[in-house]
């Protein structure tokens, strides 16, 4: 047996011995989730469309974390199939975080069909493809944790709506809630749980500057004014919620959408 305290056989934590696959792990919440899960002893399969940011995330993981990185566009069926065949060889994967999501803003009366479809592909098709790929193995083994990223936008977000319009994004994020509600019922006897985490405004590399600019411009609907805690959330605060729904402890929690939104 290895005597290295950082070796996988010595690792401890709430996800020790579990393998987790995180999509969009190159930046923001996906990166924070990868780091947080590595601190809890998980083995990781990290995927992103951007190889450079994926490599940066890898460098931030807790020492001793066993990791497989795989570049893929998770909106593409064949690339998702390839991703999961590599993951299975590394796995079995017991935890899936469907983190990829987002969309193109715009007033609905000006929005192109291409922009609408882009938002649905990024936020819903990616989640469908990855969940479909992972479920047969989870069901066969009788254990699984799936977490999907919804958003406060599922109920409409004032700053997004008033600033540029975000109807397509809100539609997609409400869809995430429907997805986990239905699947939780379908999977109730299988040992697999599925939940959503719904962040409020989070200080990620991409969203943070955009959200802070609203406050700097003195806009009435700035998230710093609209959120009761008067601040942005951190990616790590979202990662902590993802850790909970992906842990053994959340065994009686399924079909839930957990807000991480400073009281909004
Ligand atoms: N940041 C926020 O304030 C906020 C708030 C609510 C919900 N969310 C949700 O949380 C999730 C993560 O948000 P974020 O702000 O950290 O995202 P982000 O846009 O900062 O990062 C997403 C990552 O996904 C990767 N990616 C994009 N398209 C991809 C594809 N087709 N295939 C594979 N990888 C792809 C990007 O390269 C990037 O590394 C999203 O679903 C988002 O909608 C974010």
Q: Whose CA is nearest to atom 17 of ligand 1?
A: 28
Among candidate residues 59, 50, 222, 248, the one with its CA nearest the CA of residue 143 = 248
- The pLDDT of residue 2 is 38
| CA–centroid distance, residue 63 to ligand 1 (Å) | 25
CB 199 within 8 A of CB 227: no
76 lines ligand 1 (CB under 6 A): no
Task: List the Cα angle 36/32/242 in 5-degree steps.
Answer: 65
Q: Whose CA is nearest to atom 7 of ligand 1?
A: 151
22 lines ligand 1 (CB under 6 A): no
- Strand locations in the chain, DSSP E? 19-23, 43-48, 67-71, 95-98, 144-149, 192-199, 257-260
The tens-digit pLDDT sequence of the chain (264 residues) is: 334 444 554 468 999 999 999 999 999 999 999 999 999 999 999 999 999 999 999 999 999 999 999 999 999 999 999 999 999 999 899 999 999 999 999 999 999 999 999 999 999 999 999 999 999 999 999 999 999 999 999 999 999 999 999 999 999 999 999 999 999 999 999 999 999 999 999 999 999 999 999 999 999 999 999 999 999 999 999 999 999 999 999 999 999 999 999 999
For the annotated catalytic residues, the residue numbers are 169
Q: Which atom of ligand 1 is nearest to the CA of 206?
A: 20
Architecture of the domain delimited by 8-260: 3-Layer(aba) Sandwich (3.40)
Q: Whose CA is nearest to atom 30 of ligand 1?
A: 73
Q: Which residues contact residue 196 at a Cβ distance below 8 angstroms, ignoring those fewer than 6 apart?
A: 147, 148, 149, 150, 176, 177, 179, 180, 256, 257, 258
- The pLDDT of residue 12 is 87
The phi and psi torsions of 206 (rounded to 5 degrees) equal -90, -45
| CA–centroid distance, residue 8 to ligand 1 (Å) | 29
For residue 202, give both structure tokens: 């989070």
Domain ranges of the chain: 8-260
For residue 260, give both structure tokens: 């991480």
DSSP readout, 44-63?
EEEEES-HHHHHHHHHHSPT
- The pLDDT of residue 91 is 85
25 lines ligand 1 (CB under 6 A): no
For residue 20, give both structure tokens: 């987790």
Q: Which residues contact residue 188 at a Cβ distance below 8 angstroms, ignoring those fewer than 6 apart?
A: 254
Burial class (CB in 10 A: 0-12, 13-18, 19+), 79: middle
């Amino acid at each position: 047996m290895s005597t290295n305290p950082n070796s996988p056989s010595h690792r401890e934590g709430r996800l020790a011995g579990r393998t987790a696959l995180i999509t969009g792990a190159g930046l923001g919440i996906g990166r924070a989730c990868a780091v947080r899960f590595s601190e809890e002893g998980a083995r990781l399969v990290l995927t992103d469309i951007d190889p450079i940011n994926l490599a940066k995330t890898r460098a931030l993981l807790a020492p001793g974390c066993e990791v497989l990185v795989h570049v893929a566009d998770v909106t593409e069926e064949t690339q998702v199939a390839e991703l999961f065949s590599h993951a299975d060889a590394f796995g079995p994967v017991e935890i899936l975080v469907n983190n990829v999501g987002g969309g193109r803003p715009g007033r609905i009366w000006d929005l192109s069909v291409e922009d609408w479809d882009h938002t649905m592909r990024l936020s819903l098709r990616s989640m469908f493809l990855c969940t479909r790929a992972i479920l047969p193995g989870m069901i066969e083994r009788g254990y699984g944790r799936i977490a999907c990223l919804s958003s406060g936008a599922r109920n409409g977000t004032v700053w997004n709506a008033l600033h540029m319009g975000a109807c397509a994004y809100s539609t997609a994020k409400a869809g995430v809630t429907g997805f986990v509600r239905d699947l939780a019922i379908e999977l109730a006897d299988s040992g697999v749980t599925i939940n959503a985490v719904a962040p409020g405004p989070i200080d990620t590399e991409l969203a943070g500057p955009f959200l802070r600019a609203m406050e700097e411009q003195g806009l009435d609907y700035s998230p710093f004014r609209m959120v009761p805690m008067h601040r942005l959330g951190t990616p790590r605060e979202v990662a902590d919620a993802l850790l909970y729904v992906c842990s053994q402890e959340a065994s009686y929690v399924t079909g839930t959408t957990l807000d991480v939104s400073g009281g909004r």
